[in-house]
C-alpha cells in the first residue's frame, strides 16, 4: 500500500507544492489548512507521516504536536519558516521527529520523508531491531556493535546513548531528550556529558571523527544517527 502523508499547512501554494512533490513519488496525500482539522484527519486517516507547519491560523503547531503525542507515535516532520535554534528545540521536545526549514530543497525533503516512513514501518515490527548503515551495524537485542565487520567494545553508557539514537535513527534528539533517556531527568542540564560521550563514540565508530558520517550534530539542538550515507 502507498504510504499516506498528512500535510497540515495553511498556505495553499505550499500545500500544492508538497502534494505535487509527494504524489510524483507515489505517496498518498491528505491536506488540512488548520490545526484542528489536521488533528481530526490524523485520527480518521491514520497517516504514516505528518508534515506540519508551525504558523497555523487557529492553533500553534507546537500545540498540534503535543496533542498528537497524547495518543499517537506517528512521525511528525515540522516544515516551518521559523529557523531559530529555540524553535527547533521546542518542537522536537514536544515530540516532533524532524525539522525542516523553509525554503527547503526537494531532495532534502524527500530524504527526510523516506527516513521517517521507513522508521515508522520498522517500529511496527516486533523484536529488537538491527540497524545497518554503511559499515556500521547495531544489534540492540544482543547489544553487539560492529564496524567494518569488527566488534566495537563500548562502555555501558556509550552503548545506552548509541541505543537511544539507534531506536530513533534518522530523528534529531535534543540534548534534553538524550540526557533524560541515558542519565535520567536530574541530568537534563549536563550537556557536557553528551559532548564527552558523543566524542568517545565518534572515536570508536567514525573513520574520521572530525568529519562524522554516522553521529551527526544539529548545531545548538542535539544529535541524530544517520540511516543512509
Q: What phi, psi does 4 have (nearest 5°)? A: -105, 130
**Confidence (pLDDT) at 127:** 53
Contact 164, 172 (CB under 8 A): no
Between 33-47, 93-107, 120-134, 143-157, the lowest mean confidence (pLDDT) is in 120-134
pLDDT tens-digit profile of 15-64? 999 999 999 999 999 999 999 999 999 988 989 999 999 999 999 999 99
Whole-prediction pTM: 0.75
pLDDT tens-digit profile of 171-213? 889 998 999 888 877 777 778 889 999 999 999 999 999 999 9
Alpha-carbon gap, residue 82 to 229, rounded angstroms:
27
Could you give the residue ranges of the DSSP H alpha helices within 168-206? 175-183, 191-205
48: its cell numbers: 504514516
Proportion of the chain above pLDDT 90, given as a percent: 62
Looking only at the bridges linking them, the beta strands covering 215-218 and 76-80 are unpaired
- What domains sit in the chain, N to C, each tagged with a CATH number? 4-123 (3.40.50.2300), 130-225 (1.10.10.10)
Helix (H) or strand (E) holding 69: helix 61-69
Sorting pLDDT into bands at 50, 70 and 90, what band is 125?
Answer: low
Amino acid at each position: 500500500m502507498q504510504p499516506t502523508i498528512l500535510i497540515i499547512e495553511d498556505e495553499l501554494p505550499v500545500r500544492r507544492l508538497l502534494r505535487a512533490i509527494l504524489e510524483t513519488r507515489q505517496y498518498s496525500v491528505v491536506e488540512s489548512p488548520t490545526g484542528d482539522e489536521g488533528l481530526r484527519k490524523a485520527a480518521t486517516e491514520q497517516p504514516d507521516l505528518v508534515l506540519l507547519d508551525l504558523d497555523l491560523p487557529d492553533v500553534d503547531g507546537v500545540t498540534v504536536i503535543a496533542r498528537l503525542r497524547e495518543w499517537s507515535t506517528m512521525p511528525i516532520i515540522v516544515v516551518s519558516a521559523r529557523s531559530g535554534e529555540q524553535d527547533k528545540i521546542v518542537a522536537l521536545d514536544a515530540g516532533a521527529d524532524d525539522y525542516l526549514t523553509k525554503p527547503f530543497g526537494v531532495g532534502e525533503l524527500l530524504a527526510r520523508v523516506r527516513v521517517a516512513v521507513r522508521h515508522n514501518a520498522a517500529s511496527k515490527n516486533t523484536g529488537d531491531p538491527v540497524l545497518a548503515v554503511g559499515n556500521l551495524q547495531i544489534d540492540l537485542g544482543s547489544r553487539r556493535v560492529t564496524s567494518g565487520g569488527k566488534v566495537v567494545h563500548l562502555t555501558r553508557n556509550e552503548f545506552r546513548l548509541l541505543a537511544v539514537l539507534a531506536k530513533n535513527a534518522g530523528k534529531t534528539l535534543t540534548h534534553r531528550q538524550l540526557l533524560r533517556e541515558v542519565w535520567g531527568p536530574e541530568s537534563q542540564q549536563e550537556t557536557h556529558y553528551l559532548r564527552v560521550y558523543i566524542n568517545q563514540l565518534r572515536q570508536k565508530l567514525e573513520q574520521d571523527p572530525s568529519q562524522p558520517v554516522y553521529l551527526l550534530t544539529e548545531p545548538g539542538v542535539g544529535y541524530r544517527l544517520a540511516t543512509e550515507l
